[in-house]
Every structure is written in C-alpha cells, then in structure tokens.
Amino acid sequence: PATLGMLGGGQLGRFFVLAAHELGYKVWVLDPDPNSPAGKAADRHLCAEYDDFAALDQFAAGCAAVTTEFENVPAGTLEYLAKFIPVRPNADAVGICQNRVAEKSFLRANGIPHAAFAAINSVADLEAAGTELFPGILKVARFGYDGKGQARVTSREEAIAAFQAFKNEPCVLEQMLKLDYEVSVVLARDEQGHTKCFPVAENQHSGGILDVSIAPARSSACQRDSAQEIAEHIAAKLGYIGTLGVEFFVSHGELYVNEMAPRPHNSGHYTVDACVTSQYEQQVRALCGLPLGDARAHSAAVMVNLLGDIWYDASQPGPDAHGAYREPDWSKLYAVSNLKLHLYGKHHARPGRKMGHFTVLDADPAKALAVALAARAAIGIKEE
C-alpha cells in the first residue's frame, strides 16, 4: 500500500492515521514531540523539527503525498516537500490561513464578509486605527490558538499597552462584534474542484476554547446554506485540496467569517460518529486523488471537548513534574448508550489541554444536547 505523510502529531493527525489505516494506507508522521498522539499511532514517527531538511528528505523519499494537521507548519517546509511529492493543501493556502493579516486581507480582497480590521505593525498603526475598531480585539498575526495571543481592548491606550505586551509583534486589530452565536463549516475539496460540505455546526466556547459543538446548528436552513456557500467560495479561491474548516460569527443575524483552518477542525470531530464519511477520511481521499465520500449525517450530534482540567487534582501529588492528575470516572460516560468516547492517549494532562472528546448521537438534536450536557456535568466539567 502507498504511504502517506502527515505533518503534525496532534489528535487531528491521529484521527487521520486511523482513517488512512482503515482504507489500507500506511502513514508516516513528522512531529518533534516523541509522545505525539499521531506519532504513536503511525507506522513510522520521524521525530524532528519541521525545518529539519534531512528529515524532510527522508519523508519525501518514503511518502507518496503529504498533508498537514498543524496550521503552523512553516510554508517553506511545504514548498520544499512540494518539489518532490504532492502537498495538499498547497503552501499558499496554508500560508494565508496561518497569518491573520494575510487571512483577513484575502477575505477583504474576495468580498467575503468579515469583521472590520486593521493590520498593526507599529504603535503608529494603532494611533491611526479607525474609531469603529474600538472596542476591539488585538490578535497576534501568527501562532495564536485557543484564544491565546489575544487581548480585548476598549480604548486606543489599552490597545497600545497590549501591543507592547505582545512585544510589538505584527497583529490585527479587529472590531468586537456582538455575537448571537458561532458556527463553522467543514468541507472537503478534491483535485477536480468537487466539494462536499458537512452539516453546519454551532460552536460554544469556554475560556476561548471550543467547548460544545451542535450539529446541525440551530440556525435557519437559509443561513446554513449561506455559510456553506461562503466556505465553498473560500476553498475554490484558495485552490484548496483537502479538508478545510471555516469559522463564522453570527452577529445581528449576519454571517462574518472569523478564521479558516487548513486542516480538519475540532468542530468536525462529530463527523467521525455521525457522518457517512468523516472529515479525516475525506482528507485521506482528497490527498490520494480518490473520489470524496458522502458527507451526510446519519443523525444529529453534539460533541463535548474533554480538557485536562477534569484530570487535574490540586490536592494530589502529581506522578511527575507535569502536575497532579487522576483519571476521570469514565463509567459516567460508559453508562450513556448513545455516547461515543474518544481519548487521544496524551501522556500529560494540563488545564486547558485537549485530552479527548465525546459525541452524543440522537435523531432529535434537542435530546442529543440535553444528554450531552448532563454527561458533561456528570464528569465534573463546570459551567464557565
């Protein structure tokens, strides 16, 4: 069987490995962390930095095609690999998604609705920023995730202080929208440009981290269609091949694109249990030039993220320097017959770290949500 390459060893990569194995492929994973979940599931784990060219040469020699699960893989790494093997998605698409200035400029250039913003490279840029951007959110242009590298600012003075606290790194200043709710579209696009969208998910965050995803989203069918159309338009403009996640805000009933993820998305975990084809299998299919599978859902689904917080127990001595923790009582979840538990096999639990998730399936979306929220409370996840 052909061997596929995966850049990044996190849980998204691990699900890709599982999907690829199901279809008969082998997978090599490149990730510097010797304990990475995908690395452990893979046929071979190249434990090296993303810009280690000797490792990249090995990778290119051993793999038929390569994809990514980590949005911050250096664009130079993707460009280098593309000289030898197909790289999907392409380096330019990943480059746009990994830099908020490039991403929002792309949205603006293509007439795609987004929150007003300004690129900030200096204090002078903040002094010149329009008053409509306050109150706003200052976000570092690169390497932010789970709400890290962001500061909510009500005034120009606060924005300047925040910019300096980010060590004058390039940022965007974005208008703060009053959110009705948030949704996302995960889609797959193949090399011929055929696109399949999964049902739109509604996403609730807690402390800047995705907490609960509800699919289908409780918005109108018309709004769900518009979100899918916008996501398809973005994928086409990026010349995207693979699985793409697009996050949206809904504010005063209108859709605004928040950001794109050039990889499977946390809000698409539900597709593993609820859809004919998962977002990870679509990534394998698009990478290998196979026809995409059906993205239809068998049932409504609600996904709950399991963060390290519920492992953490400050009253107990930790097994090692990474902190105190104990395994949560999974019997509370096993007792729910329409709940699917997924644990990623991470060695160390830290508050805020994504350790696993569960998905509740029910024909009735309201029932799925009620069961999921009860299960969430039963294992000790607190409301914000």
Of the two residues 62 and 144, which places its CB atom closer to ligand ATP in the complex? 144
Residue 205 interacts with ligand ATP (CB under 6 A): yes or no: yes
Of the two residues 80 and 248, which places its CB atom closer to ligand ATP in the complex? 248
Residue among 145, 207, 294, 335 that touches ligand ATP (CB under 6 A): 145
Strand ranges inside 190-328, DSSP E: 195-197, 201-206, 209-215, 242-251, 254-261, 300-307
Residue 174 interacts with ligand ATP (CB under 6 A): yes or no: yes
268 is known to lie in a ligand binding site = no
Minimum CB–partner distance for residue 258 and ligand ATP (Å): 5
Of the two residues 108 and 194, which places its CB atom closer to ligand ATP in the complex? 108
| Contact indicator for 380, 328 with CB cutoff of 8 Å | yes
> Which of 207, 255, 211 is CA-nearest to residue 231?
255
279 contact, one of Mg ion, ligand ATP, none, CB 5-8 Å limit per kind: none
Residue 207 interacts with ligand ATP (CB under 6 A): yes or no: no
Minimum CB–partner distance for residue 204 and ligand ATP (Å): 9
What's the CA gap between 22 and 7, in Å, rounded? 19
Residue 75 interacts with ligand ATP (CB under 6 A): yes or no: no
User: Please, what sign has the CA dihedral across residues 295, 345, 368, 252?
Assistant: negative
Of the two residues 115 and 197, which places its CB atom closer to ligand ATP in the complex? 115
Residue 255 interacts with ligand ATP (CB under 6 A): yes or no: no
How many C-beta neighbours within 10 Å does residue 109 have? 9
284-323 positions binding ligand ATP, by CB under 6 A: none
| Contact indicator for 361, 274 with CB cutoff of 8 Å | yes
User: Structure tokens of 288?
Assistant: 């290998």
CA 339 remoteness from chain centre: 22
Residue among 27, 137, 217, 307 that touches ligand ATP (CB under 6 A): 137
Q: Which helix (H) or strand (E) segment is 117 a member of?
A: strand 117-120
Number of Cα atoms under 13 Å in the Cβ half of residue 3? 14
Q: Which residues bind Mg ion (CB under 5 A)?
A: 247, 259
Residues that bind ligand ATP (CB under 6 A): 115, 137, 139, 144-148, 174-177, 179, 182, 205, 208, 247, 258-259
- Known binding-site positions: 100, 139, 144-150, 174-177, 182, 205, 258-259
